[in-house]
Amino acid sequence: MKTYRQAWANFFNPDHPAKRPTFKGRFRSRMAVDVPQGRDLNIVRLNRRWGAVNLPKVGRVRFRWTKDLPGVTKGGPAGRITGARLVKQAHGWHIVFRTEPQVSAPASHPGPPVGIDRGINVALALSDGTMREHCDGLTAGEKEHLRRLEKKSARQRRTRTPGQPTSKRLRRTYDQIAKARATAKRRAFDWQHQTTTELATTFGVIKVEDLRITNMLRSAKGTAEAPGKNVAQKSGLNRSISEQAWGRTVTLLEYKSADRGGQVVKVPAPGTSQTCHRCGHRDPASRNGTVFACVNPVCGWGGHADTNAAININNADGIAVPGRGDLGVTRSVKRQPPRAA
């Protein structure tokens, strides 16, 4: 009830980005148990790898120690533990601690600005000419193992009598498939964390396109009166965009840049991939897949299309995204802060 009340308070707060609370989806929600108070957890570090915590209705439980906790780890960051949450995933139960660290306001980031173009063939293309390739979640052997598990589950489903409970063997196969997919997802999430941390540490101003990803993922089926075209191709494109997690990349960059004194700027998306960054001529014929060749006879610049788009994003003016603890404050990236008299 405390969490539910706070959710409504955040929704009615005009300065908070929270949306209206909704019901939990039966199949879209993670199995989790919340421990709202942190004073009775009594967290103790047993050794380098393990710790112990008190959980209501459960008792003393050991957990794998993976990160320093404020107010608990000797020589670690200052702060306190405000609560915890037990989350069940495909690999087992995990405990997540809510922390309240004591940090000072960061100084302005001295790093240079950079434009980032998010894509499918190239995960992140930077305006300095470098690229960040997305990691492959599974190895070739793991992909083959997953393929065989999926074929095995299909055979088991064919022999299942409709209306009868799922057999233990089929449930075991489902669990193995879930673990393989969870491994790929965790590796992709880890790559995303490492990449965004490196970008937020290197660059002071990070510019990205202001994409409406929800609109981009709409189905092409259409209606009975006006059926859509290329439905299967559009479905494959939607899956590829979802796998890249473009929105989560920007979310990670926002709070990591704010913690380091930088900022994330969103610029208008139209025309960035069809405009030559050297002469400014815009023509859809200039881009052919991943190759950009300016059709302007005076210019004739050629190179990687994603790099050209990233340079256009870096040259564009936009609106700074508010960081953590700085809600509602926006400033044009080209406008200098007022000087003291």
pLDDT score, position 224: 67
Side chain identity, residue 53: V
Confidence of residue 173 (pLDDT cuts 50, 70, 90): very high
pLDDT surpassing 70 at residue 329: no
Beta-carbon contacts of residue 23 (< 8 Å; ≥ 6 apart): none
Which has more confidence, 322 or 212? 212
What rounded mean pLDDT belongs to the chain? 83
pLDDT score, position 129: 85
Confidence of residue 272 (pLDDT cuts 50, 70, 90): confident
Beta-carbon contacts of residue 143 (< 8 Å; ≥ 6 apart): none
pLDDT surpassing 50 at residue 331: no
Strand positions, DSSP E, the chain: 31-35, 44-45, 50-55, 59-64, 79-89, 92-101, 113-118, 124-126, 131-132, 205-209, 263-267, 287-288, 291-293, 302-304, 319-321
pLDDT surpassing 50 at residue 35: yes
Confidence of residue 323 (pLDDT cuts 50, 70, 90): low
pTM here is 0.78
pLDDT score, position 328: 38
pLDDT surpassing 90 at residue 276: no
Q: Which backbone phi and psi does 173 adopt, to 5 degrees?
A: -65, -40
Question: Across the strands, what pairs with 63?
Answer: 51
Could you tell me what percentage of the chain is helix, strand and coil, using 3-state DSSP and rounding each to the nearest 5?
A: 35, 25, 45
Question: Across the strands, what pairs with 70?
Answer: none
Q: Are 221 and 238 in contact (CB under 8 A)?
A: no
pLDDT surpassing 70 at residue 313: yes
pLDDT surpassing 60 at residue 335: no
Side chain identity, residue 17: P
pLDDT score, position 152: 95
- Joined together, the tokens standing for residue 138 give 């599974």
Segment 117-123 shows an average pLDDT of: 85
pLDDT surpassing 60 at residue 292: yes
Helix (H) or strand (E) holding 8: helix 2-12
pLDDT surpassing 50 at residue 326: no
Nearest-5° Cα angle at 19, 17 to 21: 140
The dihedral through the CA atoms of 10, 13, 15, 19 has a sign that is positive
Side chain identity, residue 268: P
pLDDT score, position 259: 87
Which has more confidence, 170 or 225? 170
The number of angstroms, rounded, from the C-alpha of 229 to the middle of its chain's C-alpha atoms is 30
pLDDT surpassing 60 at residue 267: yes
pLDDT score, position 336: 38
Helix (H) or strand (E) holding 252: helix 246-259
Q: What is the pLDDT of residues 182-235, one digit of tens each?
A: 999 999 999 999 999 999 999 988 998 888 878 777 777 776 677 777 778 888
| HSE toward the beta carbon, residue 266, CA cutoff 13 A | 13
pLDDT score, position 322: 64
pLDDT score, position 149: 95
